[in-house]
Chains A and B, each alone.
Chain A
């Protein structure tokens, strides 16, 4: 108000440059849209690659060419039951035929069952001679069929989905047609349960302490800085930590020896328990940071209201802070679980088995997990193992999505109750 008069006489000069400003605005908008698009394309490519490998034509060489079994020009797929039984009688040894009849008389079986016997015991598919991706199968079907016809006259070509109920329920096997991910799924689930059971209470507890109780002194600041740094430590370091602590030092505990469980197969602490604990430590910093973030987002006015009524600190935390932080806590849990379920490196370091055919029976079993199984299959030279690796990736994705869906449902239930 006390400015000299001359300042008021001349109004300031503005140069709006509106076209330039608006152009800048739209350029930045395009940049951000482009980033999103690149992300989406990458994701789509990833899914495409996996799906492309999982489905496709497979040529299997047979001991007997199915075409040679045709009767009156009809292929075996279209023959009736009696003709099929005759084919079996003519082509297997009398002893084998008697054995089949003893199991269940062929005449009393359904036509499909008899057909399966023809395939298994007469045609005897034994070796995969070629696999093709989904795109190849769809676009060059004719060429593939001709090629197989020329090179392997006995072989039959069929469109196959590598992921099927049999794949999910079968244990690991060296025969690619028999192999499944049952052992790996169970291993992953066991480990993730141990990780959740250990990491969630510890992580939430530590976050509550740091946010609600810890005073602002150098020690607590040091702890906080360390947690933030630990979240960025490469996972293989945690593997070495797990190897040193859980496998070597605490070997008697993690192998179950001190509980009197001395399974010779549970090779010295390289067990599900060790793996679960290692992954729990791995996700702890991430979890703590996320839960802290969630707790910090609870408005202070809510705490004051609670204290103002004569609530203790614990009552305030339990009745107001935690319920209101729950959606954020669950988001942190989702991130941690996703991280843990996909980890490979630390498990390789602590000694996950790459080839086991028996189911894990408890925390003291040897184990393998889906990522390790996938890694092992992709490093095989044979093409067909890459196909089942792709199928296993799909299984892993489905497992991950269903675990996360559970947590998201839970989160939405909590989030509905609050609306600020």
Chain B
């Protein structure tokens, strides 16, 4: 177990999440390997996004939500009172379903988060301009926007906006990036670009992606978790393992039905 800890980025132990008195997610146990892409798939309403959002305490923005159990990030329980969600969310970044660039310039979209978290230039460290360029390059957007950095982030196309949101997330130097159906609002070509990007980013970052699209999960992920819901509509994890195994030799009948398109 102790040798595993270095490779485990996030671990959920007996995680239950409630909205008011309704239990949305029950008894989730999983560990996410670092510098891998982990996909969470499952039918609508099975709590995939809820689980994802519990990894950077984004659920707390919903007033009625609360959780039981533990989520360990780098071995530390993030629901511990000593953990500041502000710092946690810098280290566990998030990309949302709908591209949501800020109503600022392209440059500011990237620079804002860095500045917010006390970005210091100089002393052999990159300047803000260099850092913005680096992040935009990492997000495969630099060539398309380098001549119009002062234009509004909202002037870009949907796919470009989503990559801008990824660049913005990279700018605060996170360790884990949570992606909540990042390509579901995009056309196939833009989707492909985002998927390529995920593979490249996995060399440096841990990526957890929620997706409706099983082909996408099969294409980009190293590990796949399959979620479903039981009779009282609480989501739970059915099966978790390497993607190749989930898609070729599922252990559970429900997983097999889902990936072959027989339900969900």
Flag the segment in B93-101, B122-130, B140-148, B226-234 that touches A.
Answer: B93-101
Interface residues in A308-326 (C-beta closer than 8 Å to B):
308-312, 315, 319-320, 323-324
Size class of the contact patch on chain B: 20 to 34
Q: Is B103 at the interface (CB under 8 A from chain A)?
A: yes
Interface residues in B22-67 (C-beta closer than 8 Å to A):
56, 58, 61, 63
Q: How far is the CB of B194 from chain A (nearest CB, A)?
A: 17
Are B56 and A308 in contact (CB-based, < 8 A)? yes
Q: How far is the CB of A72 from chain B (nearest CB, A)?
A: 77
* A residues in contact with B169, CB < 8 Å: 308-309
| CB-based nearest B residue for A309 | B113
* B residues in contact with A419, CB < 8 Å: 152, 154-155
Are A311 and B86 in contact (CB-based, < 8 A)? yes
Q: Is A112 at the interface (CB under 8 A from chain B)?
A: no
Q: Is B116 at the interface (CB under 8 A from chain A)?
A: yes
Are B56 and A418 in contact (CB-based, < 8 A)? no
Q: Is B89 at the interface (CB under 8 A from chain A)?
A: yes
Q: Is B12 at the interface (CB under 8 A from chain A)?
A: no
Instruction: Check A310/B165 contact, CB under 8 A, given A320-B102, A417-B103.
Output: no
Are B87 and A308 in contact (CB-based, < 8 A)? no
- How far apart sit A300 and B100, CA to CA, in the bound complex (Å)? 10
- How far apart sit A215 and B98, CA to CA, in the bound complex (Å)? 27
Instruction: Check A420/B58 contact, CB under 8 A, given A215-B63, A308-B89, A310-B172.
Output: no
Nearest 4 CB-CB pairings of A with B: A310-B90, A309-B113, A308-B94, A301-B100
- How far apart sit A215 and B62, CA to CA, in the bound complex (Å)? 11
Interface residues in A290-315 (C-beta closer than 8 Å to B):
299, 301-312, 315
Are B102 and A302 in contact (CB-based, < 8 A)? yes
Measured CB to CB, the residues of A under 8 A from B are 215-216, 299, 301-312, 315, 319-320, 323-324, 417-420
Are A320 and B113 in contact (CB-based, < 8 A)? no
Q: Is B112 at the interface (CB under 8 A from chain A)?
A: yes
Are A302 and B89 in contact (CB-based, < 8 A)? no
Measured CB to CB, the residues of B under 8 A from A are 56, 58, 61, 63, 86-91, 93-94, 96, 98, 100-103, 112-113, 116-117, 152, 154-155, 165, 168-169, 171-172
Instruction: Check A315/B116 contact, CB under 8 A, given A305-B100, A309-B89, A310-B86.
Output: yes
| CB-based nearest B residue for A320 | B102
Instruction: Check A307/B112 contact, CB under 8 A, given A324-B103, A419-B154.
Output: no
Q: How far is the CB of A18 from chain B (nearest CB, A)?
A: 38
Instruction: Check A310/B117 contact, CB under 8 A, given A301-B96, A305-B100.
Output: yes
* B residues in contact with A323, CB < 8 Å: 103
* B residues in contact with A324, CB < 8 Å: 103
